Amino acid sequence: MDLPPTLTTDHDGRPRCAWCAAAPEFPEYHDNEWGFPVDDDVRLFEKVCLEGFQAGLSWRTILVKRPAFRDAFLDFDFHRVAQFTEQDVAKLMCNRGIVRHRGKIEAVINNARRAIEMVQNYGSLSAFFWRYEPDPIQLPEPQTVTTCPEAIALSKDLKTLGWKFVGPTTLFAFMQAMGMVNDHVYGCITRNAVEKARSEFKRPG
């Protein structure tokens, strides 16, 4: 039986989102991370930063470099990253393991400082971000759009709070990855697992 273009099969012959076929690193990420709800502030901060680094690049580039990013940015502990200096920026610009883009590097440091402010004002990053969870009923078919009204609103509000590299497309990708949207296509083996995890997830705030 032929699969629709939205699906592919991997080594085990089970159907997955078609984008899994684009790189050998994708199936594991797809099966175990993408779309499962997250409320851990450090993981949320990391993902916002990595999505910002992805702008103009492929996700595979970022995923392969993720261990190096985590090493360079102290596992994205934003309290520690907020203390980075210009000397740290210069060091990161020489780090071949990451994407050496000064604006994006400086954005991570800036956003770490804004994240601390957000925790002080809203209790946690999780409490802030999850306020923008879209209503699943209002979403179109999976993987047919690159943003949504809630991602646009989140982008606008983060920019007002001083965050950088947080455009609507970046933040919709963040929502997809962090479980605020279940964008696994119908027929994908992980869609139901993500839906179950979302139904059992206790929203913060």
Domain membership of residue 3 (yes or no) is no
187: left (phi over 0), alpha (psi -120 to 50) or beta: left
Domain membership of residue 6 (yes or no) is no
Any idea of the CA torsion for 120, 166, 43, 68, to the nearest 10 degrees?
-120
Domain membership of residue 18 (yes or no) is no
Quick one: average pLDDT of 165-194? 98
Whether 51 is a known active-site residue: answer yes
**Residue-level pLDDT at 3:** 83
134: left (phi over 0), alpha (psi -120 to 50) or beta: beta
Which listed residue (46, 51, 132, 163) is catalytic?
51
**Helices and strands of the chain, counted as H and E runs:** 10, 2
CATH code for the domain in which residue 146 is found: 1.10.340.30
* Residue 101 half-sphere exposure toward CB, CA atoms < 13 A: 16
Whether 186 is a known active-site residue: answer no
Select from 180, 170, 178 the least CA-distant residue to 136.
180
**Residue-level pLDDT at 92:** 98
Report residue 57 as tokens. Answer: 């690049």
Domain membership of residue 16 (yes or no) is no
Range of the domain at 46: 23-200
Give the tens place of pLDDT for each residue, 100-136: 999 999 999 999 999 999 999 999 999 999 999 999 9
Quick one: average pLDDT of 152-172? 98
Q: How many domains would you assign to the chain?
A: 1
**Residue-level pLDDT at 1:** 54
Which listed residue (19, 25, 29, 33) is catalytic?
29
Domain membership of residue 11 (yes or no) is no
Domain membership of residue 156 (yes or no) is yes
- Percent over 90 (pLDDT), the chain: 96
Which listed residue (34, 46, 59, 150) is catalytic?
59
Cβ within 8 Å of residue 24, ≥6 positions away: none
Domain membership of residue 44 (yes or no) is yes
Whether 29 is a known active-site residue: answer yes
pTM check: above 0.85 = yes
Give the tens place of pLDDT for each residue, 52-106: 999 999 999 999 999 999 999 999 999 999 999 999 999 999 999 999 999 999 9
Domain membership of residue 8 (yes or no) is no
Report residue 129 as tokens. Answer: 């971000």
Q: In this model, does residue 2 exceed pLDDT 80?
A: no
